């Protein structure tokens, strides 16, 4: 899909065009859309287990959007109802963002955010400021629906809950000339079962180590993000210096270690595909509202720059 130049007929009669910035083509790898799949296999009653958890659940329990399975109940505070149960038809926050708030590449980590920022973002979704560049990306569309159903009191409860949990990253960032061949499942990339590699190019290929743990909604599923060779250092330089005016040093607003500053959110240790998606959405104008502050930051970036910044930020401790 292409983003068209926005043209306006100025008063004087001249046509003023705001040209889309360098990267008009949506980086599909950062916005995976699941093909319509077969329906979930019928329940066979098997008790599924995970390494590191003493719990066991059936597939039906794992897929329950209104009673989220809790693999590691001892590792987080008690979840408020909106987080664990939602309010039918509004899905529980933890179904996608996990009880730990670690999130997954197709959504967002919710730890390390101030309650102010958290609430503002849900309002931004609700008010049409976070549409996302890929109209067919299911997780985004579900978040948009939820933002219209959730009450302010519920947002406050969810924000206060996730603010109590220390951010953790389960993503290992690896520089490589090649990446595994992938397919899209659950709106993320996963290794093709038959294996194989291909040139990475200017992409980030973020895949779970074991797709079963992802499917079983294990918040500790380890991911590997393949990033281009040299991208981490290039991103570090851009983040610190702004690359001679191409962008603005990220550290000024996100803090010296990119762990966030006041209500400016952390970017250290967050999913690199999430980061690219945000930068691209801000540039394409599909993420606006309070994100206007990021406009001068993203205006001149191309996808390779976004990849380098995301590779660097994701490689840091959250």
Residues of this chain that bind ligand HEC (CB under 6 A) = 82, 91, 93, 95-97, 106-108, 110, 113, 118, 120-122, 130, 132, 139-140, 142-143, 146, 150, 155, 158, 238-239, 247-248, 250, 252-254, 264-265, 267, 275, 277-279, 290-291, 293-294, 297, 309
The count of residues in the chain is 318
Neighbouring CB atoms inside 10 A of 225's CB total: 24
Q: Which is nearer to ligand HEC, 224 or 273 (CB)?
A: 273
* Residue 133 CB, nearest approach to ligand HEC (Å): 9
* Residue 6 CB, nearest approach to ligand HEC (Å): 20
The first and second tokens of residue 66, run together, are: 């209104």
Q: Which is nearer to ligand HEC, 190 or 310 (CB)?
A: 310
Q: Tell me the CA end-to-end span of the chain in Å, nearest whole number.
A: 33
CA distance 124 to 127: 5
Q: Which is nearer to ligand HEC, 197 or 251 (CB)?
A: 251
The first and second tokens of residue 124, run together, are: 């931004």
* Residue 258 CB, nearest approach to ligand HEC (Å): 8
* Residue 289 CB, nearest approach to ligand HEC (Å): 6
The first and second tokens of residue 100, run together, are: 């730990």
Q: Which is nearer to ligand HEC, 156 or 197 (CB)?
A: 156
* Residue 14 CB, nearest approach to ligand HEC (Å): 31
Minimal CA–CA distance to 48: which of 217, 189, 223? 217
Q: Which is nearer to ligand HEC, 192 or 264 (CB)?
A: 264
Minimal CA–CA distance to 172: which of 97, 215, 223, 207? 223
Neighbouring CB atoms inside 10 A of 184's CB total: 16
* Residue 93 CB, nearest approach to ligand HEC (Å): 3
The first and second tokens of residue 310, run together, are: 């995301």
CA distance 311 to 236: 9
Q: Which is nearer to ligand HEC, 22 or 142 (CB)?
A: 142
CB of 297 closer than 8 Å to CB of 306: no
Q: Which residue has the tokens 């001149």?
A: 300
Minimal CA–CA distance to 311: which of 226, 194, 219, 201? 226
Q: Which is nearer to ligand HEC, 199 or 245 (CB)?
A: 245
* Residue 104 CB, nearest approach to ligand HEC (Å): 9
CA distance 219 to 72: 9
Q: Which is nearer to ligand HEC, 168 or 192 (CB)?
A: 168
* Residue 207 CB, nearest approach to ligand HEC (Å): 18
């Amino acid at each position: 899909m292409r983003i068209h130049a926005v043209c306006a007929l100025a008063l004087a009669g001249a046509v003023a065009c705001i040209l889309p910035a360098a990267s008009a083509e949506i980086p599909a790898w950062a916005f995976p859309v699941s093909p319509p799949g077969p329906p979930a296999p019928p329940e066979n009653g098997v008790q599924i287990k995970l390494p590191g958890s003493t719990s066991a659940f059936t597939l039906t329990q794992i897929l329950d959007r209104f009673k989220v399975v809790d693999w590691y109940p001892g590792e987080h505070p008690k979840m408020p109802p909106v987080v664990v149960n939602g309010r039918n038809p509004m899905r529980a926050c933890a179904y996608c963002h996990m009880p730990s708030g670690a999130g997954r590449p197709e959504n967002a980590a919710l730890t390390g955010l101030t309650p102010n920022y958290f609430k503002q973002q849900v309002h931004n979704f609700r008010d049409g400021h976070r549409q996302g560049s890929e109209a067919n990306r299911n997780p985004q569309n579900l978040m948009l629906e939820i933002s219209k159903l959730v009450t302010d009191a519920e947002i406050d409860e969810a924000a206060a809950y996730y603010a109590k949990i220390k951010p953790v990253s389960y993503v290992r960032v690896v520089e490589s000339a090649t990446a595994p061949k992938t397919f899209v499942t659950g709106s993320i990339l996963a290794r093709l079962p038959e294996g194989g590699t291909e040139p990475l190019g200017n992409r980030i290929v973020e895949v779970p180590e074991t797709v079963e743990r992802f499917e079983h909604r294990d918040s500790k599923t380890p991911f590997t993000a393949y990033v281009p060779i040299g991208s981490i250092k290039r991103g570090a330089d851009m983040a610190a210096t702004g690359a001679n005016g191409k962008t603005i040093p990220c550290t000024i607003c996100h803090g010296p270690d990119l762990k966030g500053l006041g209500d400016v959110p952390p970017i250290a240790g967050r999913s690199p595909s999430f980061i690219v998606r945000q930068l691209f959405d801000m540039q394409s104008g599909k993420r606006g509202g309070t994100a206007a502050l990021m406009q001068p930051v993203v205006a001149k970036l191309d996808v390779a720059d976004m990849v380098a910044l995301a590779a660097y930020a994701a490689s840091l401790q959250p």
